[in-house]
């Protein structure tokens, strides 16, 4: 059987695309939201407002402070991701911006009760200190580090919870380095007080491009580098 160059190209294309779709289809993505389907000035559709949260501000969808064509979620108090789904082991990645240096910003995880029982990942006022708190009737700082940040700058953050181990990595959003290639975590701590719970906003934002998965590799499987248009571009170039 004679195989032409064009036929070979098509066969290889089908095999690559088939593998890509299998990878995407099998990735355990649990929740994702970029707020583009939401209405400016309104609350996000995929999040559940918690009026009993520590901060009960009603948040809203607004334009990105540095890119007016992009929508973000900001000014929030406590909102539960995925309408209040319970998570135990997971990888959370999201983009985070800080609007004021003298303002704390926090995200909750393994939230049982926003006022009584939860963990908080917090970038503190002053723009330097990052902490994880365990709240169990009182606020307990269980790990801290210094990592300076600027206002009105997007950062990409990864939080992995696996059993009682919590690790946090962060980078500027434009940094092409993958989280898996960042060696030492920004924060790393073990605590088994709250084994599972909600993932939530706490205060204030903006926040964008949230994705929750079973594992870091699941997120890597659907990164933009694997999008159909990119694969086709590579195939055509190689041809």
Has residue 9 got a pLDDT over 90?
A: no
pLDDT tens profile 64-81: 999 999 999 999 999 999
Instruction: Identify any residues that bridge with 129 across adjacent strands, giving them in sequence order.
Output: 146
For residue 8, the model assigns a pLDDT of 45
Has residue 3 got a pLDDT over 90?
A: no
Q: Are 63 and 97 in contact (CB under 8 A)?
A: no
Average pLDDT, the chain: 86
pLDDT tens profile 110-148: 999 988 999 999 999 999 999 999 999 899 999 999 999
Q: What is the mean pLDDT of residues 194-219?
A: 96
Cis peptide bond N-terminal to 204, omega within 30:
yes
For residue 23, the model assigns a pLDDT of 41
Q: How far apart are CA 157 and CA 130, in angstroms?
A: 12
For residue 115, the model assigns a pLDDT of 86
DSSP code string of 162-191? ETTEEEEEEEETT----GGG--S-SEEEE-
For residue 222, the model assigns a pLDDT of 73
Long-range Cβ contacts of 137-144 (<8 Å, 24+ apart) = 142/189, 142/191, 143/187, 143/188, 143/189, 144/187
Nearest to 29 by CA among 93, 112, 78, 80: 93
Q: Are 79 and 49 in contact (CB under 8 A)?
A: yes
Number of H helices, E strands in the chain: 3, 15
């Amino acid at each position: 059987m004679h195989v032409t160059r064009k036929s070979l190209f098509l066969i290889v294309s089908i095999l690559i695309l088939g593998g890509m779709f299998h990878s995407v289809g099998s990735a355990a993505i649990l929740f994702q939201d970029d707020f583009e389907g939401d209405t400016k000035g309104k609350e996000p559709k995929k999040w559940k407002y918690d009026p009993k949260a520590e901060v009960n501000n009603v948040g809203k969808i607004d334009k990105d402070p540095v890119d007016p064509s992009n929508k973000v979620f900001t000014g929030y108090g406590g909102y539960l991701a995925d309408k209040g789904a319970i998570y135990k082991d997971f990888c959370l990645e999201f983009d985070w911006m800080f609007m004021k240096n003298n303002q704390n910003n926090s995200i909750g995880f393994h939230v049982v009760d926003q006022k009584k029982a939860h963990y908080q990942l917090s970038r503190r006022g002053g723009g330097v200190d990052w902490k994880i708190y365990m709240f169990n009737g009182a606020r307990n700082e269980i790990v801290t580090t210094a990592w300076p940040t600027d206002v009105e700058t997007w950062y990409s953050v990864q939080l992995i919870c696996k059993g009682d181990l919590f690790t946090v990595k962060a980078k500027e959003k434009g940094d092409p380095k993958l989280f898996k290639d960042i060696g030492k975590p920004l924060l790393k701590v073990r605590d088994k007080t709250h084994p599972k719970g909600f993932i939530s906003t706490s205060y204030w934002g903006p926040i964008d491009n949230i994705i929750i998965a079973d594992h870091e590799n699941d997120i890597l499987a659907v990164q933009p580098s694997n999008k159909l248009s990119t694969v086709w571009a590579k195939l055509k170039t190689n041809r």
